[in-house]
């Protein structure tokens, strides 16, 4: 009886102090499939404010860490491919039909920036490092740079291939990946071409550099038909001059679509499964506890090693929280 009274008093004390029971560490489903939209990108600026974007001009925002999402009006019907916010108020979204949108009020209103008359261009990736300096990649193989917050752009590279992945560190240092890997240390005036060895039957897919020295590239099935269920991660520790291959990781999909590192040691990759490393990719462990649905990861974003999100193709959002 004394133990029961003590337990009841403890519970009353916890809730009277405004404390909530701790959330179990790991991954959990936050947003299920609620529409028929295909989603492409996710970003959070802090533990509360985040956005997902997708087909038909779809923009959703969360102000409570992903628990609930509200629609924002884009005034476009184009498919939206990528989102980049530098703080909770200022951000950009790019997409098909040469679409580029900007907000300065957290997405309450979006302004369309006209890049050119061409509507055949798909802007696939965008990154800004501050209110002025940004980079844009499109399906025509063009890499563009802005110095005025996205109002004006100049082409700094054309590699005659499809849209490239971007890793931007400052106004001078940028890596791009599309088939080949290129880097610039002078804002795009000149580019180095880096050789990245890929194991036979695999193709390079997604890239992430947490700093200019350490880089990680995921792989997908490059055979066009052969069944492959294990995939390596390609790693550099010297800015792309030399690369090594990790152990092969199981995945039932075509490979790993997403990669994100919060520093040179702690990172995650995702496809049908989510793996985690704490030693810079030398070793990986399964890091998912997805109890609802099937994961088809499209994009992922972490604000620190304790808080991250994975976006599924169909708009499902999973959150990682380490308590």
Per-residue pLDDT of the chain (323 residues; tens, 9 = 90+): 444 444 444 444 433 343 334 456 789 999 999 999 999 999 999 999 999 999 999 999 999 999 999 999 999 999 999 999 999 999 999 999 999 999 999 999 999 999 987 888 999 999 999 999 999 999 999 999 999 999 999 999 987 677 889 999 999 999 999 888 999 999 999 999 999 989 999 999 999 999 999 999 999 888 887 889 899 999 999 999 999 999 999 887 778 989 999 999 999 999 888 999 999 999 999 877 555 557 889 999 999 999 999 999 999 999 999 87
Q: How far apart are CA 260 and CA 257, in angstroms?
A: 11
What secondary structure letter does DSSP report for 39? E
Question: Which of 294, 301, 302 is CA-nearest to residue 29?
Answer: 294
**Do residues 51 and 60 lie in contact, with contact meaning Cβ atoms separated by under 8 Å?**
yes
Tell me if the pTM is above 0.85.
yes
């Amino acid at each position: 009886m004394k133990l029961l009274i003590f337990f009841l008093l403890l519970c009353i004390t916890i809730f009277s102090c405004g404390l909530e029971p701790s959330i179990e560490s790991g991954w959990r489903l936050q947003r299920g499939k609620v529409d028929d939209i295909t989603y492409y990108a996710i970003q959070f600026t802090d533990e509360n404010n985040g956005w997902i974007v997708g087909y038909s001009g779809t923009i959703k925002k969360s102000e409570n860490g992903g628990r609930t999402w509200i629609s924002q009006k884009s005034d476009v019907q184009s498919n939206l491919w990528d989102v980049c916010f530098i703080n909770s108020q200022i951000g950009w979204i790019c997409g098909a039909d040469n679409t580029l949108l900007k907000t300065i009020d957290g997405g309450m209103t979006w302004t369309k920036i006209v890049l050119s008359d061409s509507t055949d261009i798909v802007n696939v990736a965008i990154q800004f490092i501050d209110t002025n300096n940004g980079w844009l990649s499109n399906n025509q193989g063009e890499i563009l740079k802005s110095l005025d917050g996205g109002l004006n752009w100049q082409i700094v590279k054309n590699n005659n291939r499809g849209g490239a992945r971007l890793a931007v560190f400052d106004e001078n240092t940028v890596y791009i990946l599309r088939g080949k890997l290129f880097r610039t240390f002078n804002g795009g005036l000149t580019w180095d071409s880096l050789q990245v060895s890929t194991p036979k039957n695999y193709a390079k897919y997604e890239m992430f550099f947490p700093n200019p020295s350490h880089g990680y590239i995921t792989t997908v099935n490059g055979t066009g038909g052969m069944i492959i269920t294990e995939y390596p991660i390609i790693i550099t520790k010297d800015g792309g001059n030399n690369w090594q291959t990790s152990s092969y990781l199981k995945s039932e999909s075509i490979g790993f679509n997403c990669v994100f590192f919060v520093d040179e040691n702690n990172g995650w990759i995702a496809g049908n499964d989510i793996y985690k490393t704490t030693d810079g990719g030398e070793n990986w462990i399964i890091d998912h506890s997805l109890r609802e649905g099937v994961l088809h990861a499209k994009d992922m974003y972490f604000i620190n090693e304790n808080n991250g999100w994975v976006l599924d193709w169909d708009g499902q959002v999973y959150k990682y929280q380490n308590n």
